[in-house]
Every structure is written in C-alpha cells, then in structure tokens.
Amino acid sequence: MLYNRSSGILLHPTSLPGRFGIGDLGSSAYAFIDFLVESHQKIWQVLPLGPTGYGNSPYLSYSAFAGNPLLINLEWLVSEDLLSEDDLNHLPQFSEHQVDFDLVIAHKMPLLRKASHNFKQTATPERKEAFEAFCQEHGYWLNDYALFMALKEYFQDKTWNNWEADIAKRDPTAIARYTELLKESIFFHKYIQSEFFRQWKSLKEYANQNEVYIFGDLPIYVAHDSSDVWSNPQIFRLNKETGQPSWMAGVPPDYFSETGQLWGNPVYNWRNLARTNYRWWIQRVKSMLDYVDIMRIDHFRGFEGFWAVQEGEETAMNGRWVKAKGEPFFQLLRDELGELPIIAEDLGVITPEVEALRDKFGLPGMKILHFAFDSDRANPFLPFNYTNRNCIVYTGTHDNDTTVGWFDKRTEEEKARVVDYLGAIGYDGIHWSLIRLAMGSVANIAIFPLQDVLGLGSEGKMNTPGIATGNWAWRYHAQDLTDDLKAHLGYITYLYGRKNS
C-alpha cells in the first residue's frame, strides 16, 4: 500500500455528520467511504481513536489501546434492542457544525450505560460468548484499563497519583478489593470497549472490501493520567514518591518558541523497556495494526533522541537531549512483523541521525506544502526537492490552518511567493492549486484534509497547537459531499496517475 501511487483524505470520525452531536461509526461513516470510492481515493487517514480527557485531544488519551466510546453509534444499539427509539427521541438539539463535547458526554454516556445494563440482562448466549472472547483476547490491556476508568470515577476524576496510596501504587490487596467493589463499573467499561471495536471492525471491513485502507495515528507519548502509566510505571520516568513525571517530554526553544514546548508527558525509561524486549511497545503497535492498515508515528524523532525536562521546570528551556533505543526496537519489530506499514512523522528539527533511523527501516517521511514557500530553493518541502517517491505529501495536517485560511493570512509578498511557484492560482481556488501540486508530485501518497477539498477557511481549522481548549470540534454536513465535488476530485486523481493504484 505504501509503495503504490495513490491519494486519500484526512478526516477524524468525530467530524462526520449525524444527529447525535458528534461523528460516529454509523451510516455517515459508511457514506464517507462511498465518497472515497467514488472519487478514486484509496486512503482514509484518522487521528488517534482513544478515549479523550480534558481538552478532548485525541493525542491525550486515557489509554494507548482503548477506543473512544463517544464514537459508538447509538442506532446500532437500537437495532439490537439494547436501546429503544424512545431513548433517542429525548436528546437535545445538537449543533451540526461543531461538537459540544460536554453536552455529548452528558447525554451519550448514560445511554451507553443503559445499553450495557440491557446487554448484561438480555444478550443472547452467542453475544455473551463473543464478549467474553473479546475480554480474554484483549485482557493484557483491557483489565487494567477498565479498572483504571472505574477508579477515575470512584475518586471523582482525580489523577491516579492522587488516589489512595495503596491503589495508586497498585498494591495487590488493594487491586483485589477495588476490583470487587467496582465490578459493575468495570463491566461497563469492558462492554463499551467491546462495542467500539465491534463497530470499528465492521467499518474497516467495509472499507477494505472497497479497496480503501485505514491510515491510523499513534502518538509517541502517552498521557500521564492514563491506564498505561498507572499500570506500567516501570517503563516511564516517574518520581517514585509522588508518581509525577520526574522527566517530562517536550521540544527545546526554536524559531517558533523562545521557551520551547513543555508537553508534560512522562518520557520513557528506555533501559527498562529494553530489559523487556520492548514488550509494551510491540504490543501497542501490534494492537493498532489489528484495526488499521497503515499507521503514522507522531514525533518519530523521539525514537532516536528526545528532549527531557526535569520535574519542577515550568518551560522547556532547561531540558537536555537523551538518546533513545529506536534502532533495536524497530529491528525487533521488523523481525516480528516483517515489512513495517509505518510512516515517520519527521517534521521539525530533524538530524542526520533521525533520517538514518527512518531510512534504515524504509519508513516514508512527510512533506507539508504549507511549509514549502518561506525559505530558499533548497526547501525540502518544495516538490522538486523530493529525493524519492517513498514519502507522503500533504497540503497541511490537522495542526495547520486550512489551505484557504493559511493563504488568506499571508502577506502580499508571501502570497506572491506561492503564486510565482504555481504560475497562477487555478480557477478553482488556492486549495485546489495546492491539491494539484501534491497530486502531481512524485510522492507515492498524497493526503488532504477534507476541509481543503471543501475549500473552507479558518472556520474549518481542526486544532491550534499550544491552546488546550476549543479544538477538535469541526464537523462537515452530509450535503457538502456533492456529486460535482466527487467528480472534480476523481478527475484530478485520474489526471495525476493516482486512480488505478
């Protein structure tokens, strides 16, 4: 898949249209796949699919393995008599333009709890057997995750290191006691995970049957307040007394930030990971590849060396570079999986050592056209500088403004640099001009946010990095995917040789 000339769309499932305030895995997801097929797209790229906490960022999840229950389609549950039509008739009037996460959570989670209760009472023996099989197959992460989420509720959403000391430090007696005390809540969290993955598996099978491939996204770091850190503290750099990160992830000061970026995630204890033959990481990658066809690793450079900032610092200025053990990890991963269907997010300050690690394992890198026009002719994002086909070109990513918004905010001089390179802006607008530029490049794969295909301005922006709230909320309307749009995208895909991959 990675070596065929093709193209696709970046769209997180929360952005799908529908009646329940947030995109989900129901009919609109299948309709989107139909749109991809009819416009000759081969790839659907999504953001991380895990359950989100404060800020609703898919890059800060309660688990590196679990799915987001807000994506479960409620009509599917009605069709199996786990909910009634009446249950769905008393929901508020949700916005069709934006996700109001608080409102969605307040109304959807009680319905999922009702479905869980009804499942426990009325499910057929076959469905219960399938549920038990799911729990057994995924027990290596599911048991800890379900207990973690039940404990989060019990301790009124406190971070795990502020729970009672015995359970925060995973005393076996405490685990046994809370597992019994919270068994109903634990069952609920296992049930909604089984439902998420059942619906996701059905959707992925539909995509693959139609020769559409799912492109997933894996953040290198996990949230401190996650089941991963609570249940595997030995593979993270934590303060043994407080449970806080003793070394935090981030990036150093650069042209864009005088103080750098301090993310707050705990960095990995690579020495302890090596002692286990990277078992947690290999489980994580294998688990994800059960549900996607290819995957991007965010902040790939952290596998070669990472910026670590000591506990107590308030900015990233006083960190230091620490070598990671990416080469032995990827070697072991390739020994187990063969050819790696992995893309390296190689943006930012990338050293020759990072490039060597990427190239040793044949991992495609990323090219972003929004970054191509503001330096000299050696800019690596300019298409004539792509040294081989083994890369993926984007107009922009989820962290960029839309192409229309990006161009509108440029000065006249900056706009002129873009127009000079393009020769002219096409009759169909700057967004299609950049889509054509990407399509015509030698890159094996070209990906575009749906917002660019729709020609949206900054109102369609998905995320503003560095701002914790107000992101991830954009949704499109079903009527946006017109026959004319489908035909235009399909023709350009054909025109630049990406149709018959």
- Distance, in Å, from the CA atom of 377 to the CA atom of 188, rounded to the nearest integer, reads 57
Asked whether residue 282 is domain-assigned, the answer is yes
More confident residue, 78 or 2: 78
Whether the full predicted model's pTM is greater than 0.95, yes or no, is yes
Find the catalytic residue in 345, 346, 401, 452: 345
User: What length does the chain have?
Assistant: 501
Q: 131-159 pLDDT, tens per residue? A: 999 999 999 999 999 999 999 999 999 99
Q: What does DSSP say about strands 261-266 and 247-251: parallel, antiparallel, or unpaired?
A: antiparallel
Find the catalytic residue in 34, 38, 166, 399: 399
- Distance, in Å, from the CA atom of 304 to the CA atom of 281, rounded to the nearest integer, reads 15
Given a cut of 60, whether residue 184 has pLDDT beyond it is yes
- The confidence score (pLDDT) of residue 86 equals 95
Asked whether residue 485 is domain-assigned, the answer is no
Asked whether residue 190 is domain-assigned, the answer is no
Give catalytic status of residue 399 as yes or no.
Answer: yes
pLDDT band for position 468 (cuts 50, 70, 90):
confident
Q: Is the dihedral of CA 174, 179, 180, 181 positive or negative?
A: positive
In the three-class reduction of DSSP (H, G, I as helix; E, B as strand; rest coil), residue 32 is classed as helix
Given a cut of 80, whether residue 433 has pLDDT beyond it is yes
**Which residues are paired to 320 by β-bridges?**
308
pLDDT band for position 469 (cuts 50, 70, 90):
confident
Find the catalytic residue in 225, 293, 298, 304: 298
Q: 73-125 pLDDT, tens per residue? A: 999 999 999 999 999 998 999 999 999 999 999 999 999 999 999 999 999 99
Asked whether residue 34 is domain-assigned, the answer is no
Asked whether residue 32 is domain-assigned, the answer is no
- The confidence score (pLDDT) of residue 59 equals 94
Largest CA distance in the chain: 71
- The confidence score (pLDDT) of residue 253 equals 87
Give catalytic status of residue 298 as yes or no.
Answer: yes
Residue 352: give the domain boundaries.
Answer: 232-363
Given a cut of 90, whether residue 247 has pLDDT beyond it is yes
Q: How many independent structural domains does the chain possess?
A: 1
